[in-house]
Amino acid sequence: MTRSLGSIIKELRLGQGWSQDDLADKLNKNFGASVNKGMISKWENELVDPRLEIVRYIARLFNVSLDFLLGLENKEEVETIAAHHDGEEFTEEELKEIEAFKAFVKSKRNRGE
């Protein structure tokens, strides 16, 4: 079953422990977007879809692919992360990917999957 864009955005947001206001603030500050809590609520409740430009910002913010956001790719099949790194240094981008994956795993746990 394909998940909706709105449900995936909500899953990622909750995985980070963010409110809809938090997500709006991050999109606005990091990308110069102009979104608010009401818009995010409409996306998550599948009343409207965000503009493509905003979808790209969301993908960058959560460090996921557009395919993942659109429900075309299962992140579990794409990425595996070790629980420890034996002192290995990670780039800032790699750390963001690790954090995004952690949020994804936590959101699944919260849903009981």
Task: Report d(CA 111, CA 21) in Å as an integer.
Answer: 22
- Tell me the pLDDT tens digit for each residue of 42-64: 999 999 999 999 999 999 999 88
For residue 111, what pLDDT is reported?
Answer: 62
Tally of domains within the chain: 1
78 within a domain of the structure (yes/no):
no
43 within a domain of the structure (yes/no):
yes
For residue 92, the enclosing domain spans: 5-71+86-111
81 within a domain of the structure (yes/no):
no
Residue pair 93/44 in contact (Cβ under 8 Å)? The answer is: no
For residue 107, what pLDDT is reported?
Answer: 74
Helix 5-15 with 52-62: angle, nearest 10 deg: 30
77 within a domain of the structure (yes/no):
no
- One-letter amino acid at 57 equals Y
CATH code of the domain containing 29: 1.10.260
What distance, in Å, lies between the first and last C-alpha atoms of the chain?
15
Q: Is the pTM of this model over 0.85?
A: no
> Largest Cα–Cα distance of the chain, in whole Å?
46
For residue 37, what pLDDT is reported?
Answer: 97
Q: At 79, is the pLDDT very low, low, confident or very high (cuts 50, 70, 90)?
A: very low
79 within a domain of the structure (yes/no):
no
49 within a domain of the structure (yes/no):
yes
- Tell me the pLDDT tens digit for each residue of 10-41: 999 999 999 999 999 999 999 999 999 999 99
For residue 92, what pLDDT is reported?
Answer: 73
Q: What are phi and psi of 23, to 5 degrees?
A: -60, -45
24 within a domain of the structure (yes/no):
yes
30 within a domain of the structure (yes/no):
yes
Residue 58 CB partners (closer than 8 Å, separation 6+): 9, 12, 27, 50, 69
